[in-house]
Structure 1
């Protein structure tokens, strides 16, 4: 596995979630209106939870922290979001499916050599 390509993939996959999660947290009231229109209960609470999940998940992928578990969680999140929020929007649905695929590949390959998890492993056995 090429560690530079895995790092580049982690960066590219994480950016959308870091930016989107931050945006949802600072604009939670607006996002909660969208969630309310979809029929979600407690839309403001849900807006903060989704924003935090996206931001923290994106940062974990970027840093290479618990990548396999976080990548699986984000893949499931992408599929659920695609079905629950983007079923009638073909481009958004396909984007979410593609992101889920990227996260599953990342879960299979792991974080690569340039990751917090790798650094923690090496320092533990040094």
Structure 2
């Protein structure tokens, strides 16, 4: 597959998590209020954990670091979030399911050659 297409896919898949994770970290109190309304335990701590996970995982996908592991983690996160938070909104639920599919494809194919994963593999054998 064209390596530029894989890179474009990583950029597109990562964008929502980088932006959302940053937003959750900078507005943790507001997100914690939302989590509290859903009866999540320790909503402020959960807000920071979710925000950090989204930001770090999004950046990892963007640069192609540990892509297979992060792809699986984000696929599970998308399905869990869809079911736990967005089950009442079919459009958002299906968006989460579709993103999970994209992350599973990324986990199966790997980051491609334009990625930190590729650089690390090459430096290991040099």
Does TM, normalized by the shorter one, top 0.5? yes
TM normalised by structure 2 equals 0.99
The residue that corresponds to 1:102 in the other structure is: 102
The residue that corresponds to 2:78 in the other structure is: 78
Gap runs ≥5 in structure 1? none
TM normalised by structure 1 equals 0.99
The residue that corresponds to 1:32 in the other structure is: 32
Instruction: Report how far residue 59 of structure 1 moved.
Output: 0.1
Residue deviations 1:94-120 (CA, integer Å, cap 9, x gap): 110010000000001000000001001
The residue that corresponds to 1:56 in the other structure is: 56
Aligned length: 126
CA distance in 2, matches of 1:66, 1:37: 34
Query: Which stretches of structure 1, 4 residues or longer, exceed 6 Å deviation after superposition?
Result: none
The residue that corresponds to 1:113 in the other structure is: 113
The residue that corresponds to 1:43 in the other structure is: 43
Instruction: Report how far residue 63 of structure 1 moved.
Output: 0.5
The residue that corresponds to 1:123 in the other structure is: 123
